[in-house]
């Protein structure tokens, strides 16, 4: 693991993110408060303008002057006093024609009101608007003026400059900013205290150390259905999962191994070698008290150094069962393909005879073919009571004919159906690999004969596979059952390995007798329990 990915200390990371969260929270709060304060200030100014306009509209001086139509100077003096007392931009009184009767600028008296937003007020509506007049942009409140007979005689307009509104908003925002800075400062102090507290709880571990622990746990969790055992740099067992304990118990290791040295608990292990070399070991078979276990061993590397190792494993019996099932399925497929190919060849012969009108020869050919197939099928079904094995043998006969190999099946006795279905899969593995290997060995031989002899007696099944192939040298005979060993190229060498395992699983034995240029003989003897029927 590259330590350069973790440039910052844990305390720095915590302080940064806590400050980021505090800052984001304060900004959101500030936006919310600023919006509310802005709306509140605007509303207050509108209400202020409206209160002043209502006060002017109720003034007897204003009403009497508008009714008499004389002494407009009294309105001017009154509105000027109101404007000065309330600190508004303007207080204007206009008649029903929109002609000003008062204005902060006396020169504007007698002129029409500017802004275009006074028309609804002249129609008796009280409202607030924002418009641009002779004194600039302002918030305006309009209130109709009525006489004692409740007849509208004019409008009172009060304006507050938007500059004043903006100044008020600026003051409130400065206050909010001061509070924000203060809150951020408190957040930074709190983040520092929190970072120190968390680091103390984590025993001072930095991110790269935590990542190392995470890598170990992740590797174990990925293999949760398998046994898992982990060791540290000193080869001390630090973790064992439940599946591993079950497998160890099956192998006679009942003691809980955590805290023990791996070589004391399992003397045959190579986990210490994996840590020394830094190279993984995959699919390594190891026996513990007679139990075959398939191991994967991987070193744990942090910052370029091996700090431990992890081993995942499972009982090899489960792996073998899966392999046997897959082998059987593949064999079925090959048999079906061979029979299909053979059937097509027979159809081509029949089609040729029909086209050439050799009807007598065609009849003889069909009779011969039917008699041969019936004899062949009858021989197989008569001697093999297990339909799976019988069908399997028929497929191999078709495959052998397709490869121009003369395969003869000889059964001195009836082969009963096995009591355990597992035996059927093991038999298909044994027979399938031996026959396929023999057919492949006969590819370049002039004489291509293959013989399969099967006998059942006294609870034992004897199998002989004899071919006329080139034979196997004494040197190669010692290695042909090794996993992955083959003289035929890469990704080969598993057939005879699976065959030997299948024979071993059934408690049998296999011997080989082969001479160069004289052929090869495989002799197999396995215990075989026949299936008992209810009427036996």
Domains 14-168 and 213-315 share a fold: yes
pLDDT tens per residue, the chain (536 residues)? 444 454 567 667 777 777 777 777 777 777 777 677 667 777 887 888 889 889 888 888 888 888 887 777 888 888 888 888 888 888 889 888 888 888 888 888 888 888 778 888 888 899 888 777 777 777 889 999 998 888 898 999 998 877 766 676 677 667 777 877 787 788 778 777 877 777 777 666 766 777 777 777 666 555 567 788 888 888 888 888 877 878 888 777 877 888 888 888 888 788 888 888 888 888 777 777 777 777 888 888 877 788 888 888 877 666 555 555 555 555 556 556 656 666 676 677 677 777 777 777 767 667 666 555 555 665 777 788 888 788 778 778 878 887 888 888 888 888 898 988 778 878 888 888 888 888 888 888 888 899 999 999 989 999 999 999 888 888 888 888 887 777 766 656 677 888 888 898 889 999 999 888 888 999 999 999 988 754 44
CATH 1.25.40.10 fits 213-315, yes or no: no
pTM equals: 0.41
pLDDT of residue 17: 77
**Spatial separation of the C-alpha atoms in residues 95 and 235, rounded to whole Å:** 103
What number of other Cβ atoms are within 10 A of residue 9's Cβ?
Answer: 13
Cα-to-chain-centroid distance, residue 317:
30
How far is it, in rounded angstroms, from Cα 367 to Cα 282? 57
Distance CA(293)–CA(313), nearest Å, equals 7
Distances (CA, A) of 56 to 15, 327, 378, 393, 478: 60, 104, 124, 116, 120
What is the model's pLDDT at position 335? Answer: 56
Q: Tokens standing for 450?
A: 């293959």
Q: Tell which CATH classification among 3.40.50.10790, 3.40.50.300, 3.30.565.10, 3.20.20.150 matches the domain 358-527.
A: 3.30.565.10
DSSP per residue over 289-351, as a string? TTEEEEEEEEEEEETTEEEEEEEEEEEHHHHHHHHHHHHHHHHHHHHHHHHHHHHHHHHHHHH
Predicted pLDDT of residue 323: 55
Q: What residue spans define the domains of the chain? A: 14-168, 213-315, 358-527
**Protein fold of 14-168:** Beta-Lactamase (3.30.450)
């Amino acid at each position: 693991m590259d330590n350069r990915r973790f440039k910052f200390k844990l305390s720095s990371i915590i302080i940064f993110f806590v400050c980021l969260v505090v800052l984001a929270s304060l900004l959101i709060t500030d936006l919310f408060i600023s919006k509310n304060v802005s709306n509140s200030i605007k509303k207050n100014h509108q209400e202020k303008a409206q209160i002043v306009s209502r006060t002017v509209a109720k003034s007897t001086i204003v009403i009497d002057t508008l009714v008499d139509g004389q002494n407009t100077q009294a309105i001017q003096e009154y509105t000027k006093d109101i404007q000065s007392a309330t600190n508004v931009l303007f207080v204007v009184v206009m008649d029903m024609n929109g002609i000003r009767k008062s204005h902060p600028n006396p020169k504007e008296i007698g002129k029409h009101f500017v802004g275009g937003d006074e028309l609804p007020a002249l129609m008796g509506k009280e409202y607030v608007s924002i418009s641009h007049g002779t004194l600039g942009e302002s918030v305006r409140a309009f209130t109709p003026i009525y006489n004692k007979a409740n007849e509208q005689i004019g409008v009172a307009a009060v304006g507050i400059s938007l500059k004043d509104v903006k100044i008020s908003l600026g003051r409130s925002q400065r206050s909010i900013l001061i509070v924000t800075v203060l809150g951020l400062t408190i957040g930074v102090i709190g983040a520092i205290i929190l970072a120190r507290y968390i680091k103390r709880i984590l025993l001072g571990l930095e991110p790269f150390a935590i990542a190392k622990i995470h890598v170990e746990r992740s590797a174990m969790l990925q293999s949760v259905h398998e046994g898992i055992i982990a060791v540290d740099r000193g080869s001390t067992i630090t973790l064992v999962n439940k599946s591993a304990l079950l497998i160890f118990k099956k192998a006679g290791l009942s003691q809980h191994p955590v805290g023990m040295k791996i070589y004391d608990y399992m003397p045959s292990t190579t986990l210490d070698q994996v840590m020394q070399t830094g190279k993984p070991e995959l699919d390594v078979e190891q026996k513990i008290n007679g139990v075959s276990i398939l191991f994967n061993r991987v070193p744990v590397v942090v910052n370029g150094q091996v700090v431990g190792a992890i081993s995942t494993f499972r009982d090899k019996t489960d792996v073998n069962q899966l392999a046997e099932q897959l082998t059987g399925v593949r064999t079925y497929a090959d048999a079906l393909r061979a029979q299909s190919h053979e059937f097509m060849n027979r159809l081509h012969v029949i089609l040729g005879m029909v086209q050439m009108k050799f009807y007598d020869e065609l009849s003889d050919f069909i009779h011969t073919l039917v008699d041969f197939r019936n004899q062949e099928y009858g021989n197989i079904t008569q001697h093999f009571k297990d339909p799976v094995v019988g069908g399997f043998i028929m497929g191999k006969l078709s495959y052998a004919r397709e490869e121009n190999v003369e395969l003869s099946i000889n059964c001195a006795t009836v082969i009963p159906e096995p009591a355990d279905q597992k035996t059927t899969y093991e038999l298909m593995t044994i027979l399938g690999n031996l026959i396929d290997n023999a057919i492949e060995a006969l590819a370049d031989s002039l004489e291509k004969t293959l013989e399969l002899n099967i006998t059942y007696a006294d609870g034992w099944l004897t199998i002989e596979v004899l071919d006329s192939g080139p034979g196997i040298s004494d040197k190669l005979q010692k290695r042909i059952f090794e996993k992955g060993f083959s003289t035929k190229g890469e990704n080969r060498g598993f057939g005879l390995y699976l065959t030997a395992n299948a024979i071993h699983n059934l408690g049998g034995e296999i011997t080989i007798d082969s001479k160069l240029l004289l052929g090869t003989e495989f002799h197999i003897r396995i215990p075989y329990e026949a299936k008992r029927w209810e009427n036996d």
